[in-house]
Amino acid sequence: MRQIMLTVRPLLLCAVLLGAMATQPARSVEATGMHSSADCDRLCLRSMADRLVTSIARHDPAVLPLASTYAATENGVPAALPMMSTWQIASGTGGRFYAIDSVSHQVFFMVSMREGVADALIFGRFRLKQRRFSEIELYVDRSRGDGGFMFDGTGPGHFPSVWTQQIPRSRLPSRSALIRAGRAMFDPSVAGLPIAPYCRLMENGRLVAEDPKVLKWVDPGGNGLHPNPDGTLPIPCGLPPNRPVDPLARLVVADTQAGIVISIATVQGVVQPYLITKPTVSAFIPLSLLRPYMDMLRHQRAAGVFTLPALRGMRASNTTVQMWRIFDGKLQAMQLLEHLQPPSAASPWTAPTTPDGSIQ
């Protein structure tokens, strides 16, 4: 029954966008060597991450030491930092979470950002060269619609302890083991890891849980999960063979001191209605998982009990960050960070270009 849940339920359908690398571009963490001794160590990288967050809260990108020529995007769109809305409208920042790769000199960050009375979720990465920001890749989710389904803008301030607890180095994987795990995220031909019994999925700062009414449609017998206090059912980690594939997926961070590996991919799919809710919301469904989801929709509509207005299915793509924490040889925690894009969107970080922007 667990496999049924992994392939048909929309929350889990969103949560199984498990990233890997069928082929990696030249700037992956595997191909990136150490820079000179003038570059940051781990503590310096953390300090620079704090500096980036502070500059956003103060609406002042000018305080950041930028390389003479740098690359930067906001929600997949190239722009100079002073032109980005993130630095214009933030009214404060809250909880933050960093994964640090001192070999590739990259930091992946998740930060709660305050915008008036609302909480947004910032996530992305930066790379340093000679203690200057040479790359900044930034995404901002302000609602469930930005990410595809789940959302909690305050998530980085209250992560489950499995993400934050200190683990002895002897229990953590090597860098090569992290990289192998990163390859399995978006490449079903690469073997995954054993999954810890209590591994739980997160998506856009929120633990993934399913409405029990959905199980009546896809798993009437139940699967033995113990309900949360609010009656929802927690979703376990999973690595189904029909997970999406992106041959241009990028493995960006391998944090050997925390046992965290992160890849970024672009997944093509369809935004479909999620009929169980009142009012009816929607969910992003990858193309590789669309057929079982459509089967479920047909059964629900045939029942004649869902009569509220519902979104018509529409094509979209999804920038998907997959983040795993690994120790004791097992996958202990899994999180997706997603930002919806127009249909057939491509990442400017994978397009081969010359310094002046022309295609190679």
pLDDT digits (tens, 9 = 90+) for 73-96: 999 999 999 999 999 999 999 999
Task: Please tell me the predicted confidence (pLDDT) of residue 196.
Answer: 95
Of 14-18, 75-79, 238-242, 285-289, give the lowest mean pLDDT range. Answer: 14-18
| Cα–Cα distance for residue pair 139/134, rounded to 1 Å | 17
pLDDT band at 5 (very low <50, low <70, confident <90, very high): very low
pLDDT tens string 126-171 = 999 999 999 999 999 999 999 999 999 999 999 999 999 999 999 9
Across 48-52, 106-110, 208-212, 343-347, least confident range: 208-212
Stretch among 152-161, 187-196, 235-244, 332-341 having the lowest mean pLDDT: 235-244
Q: pTM for the complete prediction?
A: 0.86
- Per-chain mean pLDDT for the chain: 86
Residue ranges covered by each domain of the chain:
2-341
Give the C-alpha separation, 333 to 322, whole Å: 11
pLDDT at position 16 over 50 = no
For residues 25-54, average pLDDT: 74
Q: Is the pLDDT of residue 34 over 50?
A: no
Average pLDDT over residues 207-223: 66
pLDDT of residue 234: 76
pLDDT at 145: 95
pLDDT score recorded for residue 95:
95
Residue 11 backbone phi and psi in degrees, to 5? -65, -45
For residue 274, pLDDT over 80 is answered with: yes
Question: Which pLDDT belongs to residue 338?
Answer: 97
Flag whether pLDDT at 241 surpasses 90. Answer: no
Task: Tell me the average pLDDT across 305-322.
Answer: 96
